[in-house]
């Protein structure tokens, strides 16, 4: 049995024990640093959602994969540089890491020019870590409000990556509370090591790399 199939069994059990409906959860296979051949194996097992954090990798691997597997959904989960926005917009279906108004404006302009609507998450830096992307908690309400009221983007929800050395639960609950204040339905949170806690806290989008693809080199 493949790593992917093994994880799928574990994932289904976890969803059941969390009393969640599996149809409300999108499982994103994080394929960063993995070869096109590795990704193809998981595509052949009918998995549709994939996550990457570098646009250079997407440009290199995904144009051919998208031709072979046109139903795949590509999620961008890394920090966004303004000069890369156009490429991210054209290559990806869902963008999880909106965190500056400059970026919001650029995506808004691209949607107006091209007429193709994407899905967006606002990344919140719940641990206020200076080295990490995301809107600080202090700025979060104002930023979310501005995005929702001043720009015509399809903001689905919020995303976070908790500090490595802290209990993720309080960060997931903080994100869930913040989303509820704005009636945002989707929460992108939880990775291989903490996805079970994320599911209990209401995650709708789980980002799994190692448990699906194995360790990265």
Both tokens of 145, joined, read: 């409000």
pLDDT, one tens digit for every residue, the chain (217 residues): 899 999 999 999 999 999 999 999 999 999 999 999 999 999 999 999 999 999 999 999 999 999 999 999 999 999 999 999 999 999 999 999 999 999 999 999 999 999 999 999 999 999 999 999 999 999 999 999 999 999 999 999 999 999 999 999 999 999 999 999 999 999 999 999 999 999 999 999 999 999 999 987 7
Q: Which CATH class is domain 3-213?
A: alpha beta
- Is residue 30 within 8 A of residue 77, CB to CB? The reply is yes
Query: What is the rounded CA–CA span in Å between residue 187 and residue 166?
Result: 19
Q: Is 157 exposed, middle or buried (0-12, 13-18, 19+ CB in 10 A)?
A: buried
What are the structural domain ranges in the chain?
3-213
Q: What is the DSSP code (8-state) at residue 165? A: T
pTM, rounded to two decimals: 0.96
């Amino acid at each position: 049995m493949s790593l992917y199939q093994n994880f799928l069994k574990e994932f289904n059990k976890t969803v059941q024990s969390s009393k969640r409906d599996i149809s409300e959860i999108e499982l994103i296979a994080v394929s960063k640093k993995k070869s096109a051949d590795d990704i193809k194996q998981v595509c052949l097992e009918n998995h549709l959602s994939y996550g990457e954090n570098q646009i250079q990798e997407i440009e290199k691997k995904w144009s051919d994969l998208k031709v072979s597997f046109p139903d795949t959904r590509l999620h961008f989960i890394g920090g966004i540089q303004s000069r890369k926005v156009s490429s991210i917009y054209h290559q990806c279906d869902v963008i999880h890491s909106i965190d500056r108004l400059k970026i919001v404006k650029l995506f808004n302009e691209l949607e107006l020019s091209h007429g193709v609507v994407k899905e967006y998450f606002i990344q919140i830096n719940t641990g206020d870590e200076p080295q990490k992307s995301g809107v600080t908690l202090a700025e979060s309400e104002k930023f979310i409000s501005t995005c929702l009221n001043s720009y015509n983007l399809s903001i689905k929800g919020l995303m976070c990556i908790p500090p490595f050395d802290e209990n993720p639960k309080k960060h997931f609950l903080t994100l869930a509370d913040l989303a509820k204040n704005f009636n945002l339905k989707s929460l992108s949170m939880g990775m291989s090591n903490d996805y079970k806690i994320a599911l209990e806290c209401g995650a709708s989008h789980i980002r799994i790399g190692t448990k699906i693809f194995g360790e990265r080199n």
